[in-house]
Structure 1
Amino acid sequence: MYAENHGLIGNYFFDPKFNEVYQLRDRSKVEDARFYGGEPIWVTAEKQGLRTASYFWVGTEAPIGDQQPSIWKRYDHDFPFEARIDSVIKWFRMPEQIRPRLVMLYFHEPDGAGHRYGPKSSETQIMVESMDSLLGSILTKIKYLDIYPDLNVVVTSDHGMAQTSFKRQIPLKKYIDMEYIKMEGSGPYSFLSSASINKLEDAYNTLRKIPHLTVYLKNDIPDRWHFKNHYRIKDLLVLADEGWTVVETDHGPLSYMSKGTHGYDNSLRSMHAIFLAQGPAFKINYSASVIKNIDIYPLIAHILKLESFPGIDGRLENVQGLLKQ
């Protein structure tokens, strides 16, 4: 689903109905089903009698629709990658009556390296090669499973990464009076709101003149982003050009700042994610044009012979060409 429909508009946001802040580092919020709209694929599967399992997949720690995967793990950032893989292999060796039909496995790399060192750094290159080897390990180990001939594997991500620098900051406090402006988030974009319409209008009129910055009133946010029709999205969206960073105050060269990030215009090549698939359901040696992540839900639902949740935004016909049948 699009962000304006499922409601997770960022890793940090204020919910005016709950009068609470959601942030990824707060476990109580991550595990609070109230923040999640729509229906994830594992909930759809469990409701229709198919067991699922998750190793750190985002959202599975919350009982969305009073439902969680049959097997799930509370996130542990430092838990070894190989140990996660070994657990997944064990799940696939379970007796058929309790074996999960859908297993989701998450790794935080190379995202972590991309943020820390930048996507073009040698350190990130090394991490990408390491994760490529890890994928090779997965593909090797699953070949020894009895269910291997029936196993479909999908590799994907939710974003790309762009190079940033402390030399390319846009400190809003340099241009507008932040005393009456509430700023939500920083990085490629930020939301601004205020109890004073006049203060907000002044901020809008000033910031729209700033280089490397685009400012949208909520109703003017481009429809193609599907990022405005939700009550959690605030009055102004401030979006930086690729590689630039929106901050409240200037971060000097001695302050820590991410050297890579994501959240820019999703039409940029640097924001595109990976998608690989293999298995009996998929064509062999087939390359597709760009696909949308929202279409992965109906793709998986089709393979598992599930009836899709009616509120999804994805469409099977958009990715039907990936399949043998």
Structure 2
Amino acid sequence: LHWLGLPPEERPQLVLLYFSEPDGTAHRNGPDDPSVAATVTELDALLGRLLDGIEASPVAEHVHVLITSDHGMAPVPPDHVIYLDDYADLDGVRVIGNATQAFLYFDGAEERLWSTHDALSERLEHARVFLREETPPGWHYDRDHRIGDLVVAADPGWIVARREGRPWSGGGMHGWDPAVRDMHGIFLAAGPDLVPGVELPAFENIHVYPLVARLLDLESPPAIDGRIEAVDTVLATPARR
């Protein structure tokens, strides 16, 4: 807030603020735990102080405030773990996972890849198995060499793991398909160049960048993925189509 009172030549045009919560609490206890609601209440109070300070500042009528999150969260009970070792022989297979998905690398061992693919596809419940080139287009995995030869994607509310890993005692997780509603984040915005009361349909966070650029009177680079047209109904002067 002190920055807003600086002389124009020293005052920043863009200020970013990040809260690490309620992500940590929701991971530990699950998103429906009362501790998460308590954490959100604390954050709401902090945001209230920030907004009150902006309103009292000498540049209040020129300030835009955007509040967003990068993902949602869903609960995962202790018994909703799929241990891949129980369904296929993974000795010598490199497995890298982030709980909701596991990447399996076979380093050119084609026969081993297909036998593992068939074993997992036939036996797994609460998860899907994809060849890298057959993953859903929205994931943008098919042309990325860093992605595993096989991708095992757990259903929402389930995670995948190895037996040798750390035991799962329950909690919250994210990383499932972004189309799943529980994975959706939030987006709230207000300011002099924004139309109050507009409700946007769900959109990808990549479109926040060109919106911020527009509010700063900057041109977005043409090669970025985000498009102002996806969110321009919030603008008092929408982008030309």
TM bucket normalised to smaller: over 0.9
Out of 87, 90, 100, the position equivalent to 2:2 is 90
In 1: Cα distance, 2:61 partner to 2:29 partner: 40
Q: Is the partner of 1:134 in helix, strand or coil?
A: helix
Q: Is the partner of 1:104 in helix, strand or coil?
A: coil
Out of 144, 164, 169, the position equivalent to 1:230 is 144
In 1: Cα distance, 2:163 partner to 2:42 partner: 36
User: What TM-score do you get using the length of structure 1 for normalisation?
Assistant: 0.69
Aligned ranges 1:1-325 → 2 under 5 Å: 89-195=1-107, 196-209=109-122, 210-249=124-163, 255=167, 257=169, 259-325=171-237
Q: What one-letter code is carried by the residue in structure 2 that aligns with 1:101?
A: Q
Q: Is the partner of 1:159 in helix, strand or coil?
A: coil
- Note the C-alpha offset of 1:95: 2.3
Q: Is the partner of 2:15 in helix, strand or coil?
A: strand
In 2: Cα distance, 1:193 partner to 1:250 partner: 18
Question: Where do 5+ consecutive residues of structure 2 fail to align?
Answer: none
Contact 2:130 2:151 in 1 (8 A): yes
Question: Where do 5+ consecutive residues of structure 1 fail to align?
Answer: 1-88
Contact 1:171 1:250 in 2 (8 A): no
User: What TM-score do you get using the length of structure 2 for normalisation?
Assistant: 0.92
- Note the C-alpha offset of 1:98: 2.4
Q: What one-letter code is carried by the residue in structure 2 that aligns with 1:136?
A: G
Q: What one-letter code is carried by the residue in structure 1 that aligns with 2:154?
A: A
Q: Deviations over 1:257-285 (max 9, x none)?
A: 45001000111110000000011121112
In 1: Cα distance, 2:106 partner to 2:120 partner: 15
Larger displacement relative to structure 2 (178-187 or 114-123): 178-187
Which one has the largest radius of gyration? 2
- Note the C-alpha offset of 1:250: 7.2
Summarize the Cα distance change of 1:285–1:315 in structure 2 as closer, same or farther, 3 Å threshold: same
Aligned to 1:83: none
Runs of 4 or more consecutive aligned structure 1 residues displaced over 4 Å after TM superposition = none
Aligned residues: 235
RMSD: 1.6
User: How high is the sequence identity, in percent, across the aligned residues?
Assistant: 37
Summarize the Cα distance change of 1:304–1:244 in structure 2 as closer, same or farther, 3 Å threshold: same
- Note the C-alpha offset of 1:241: 0.4
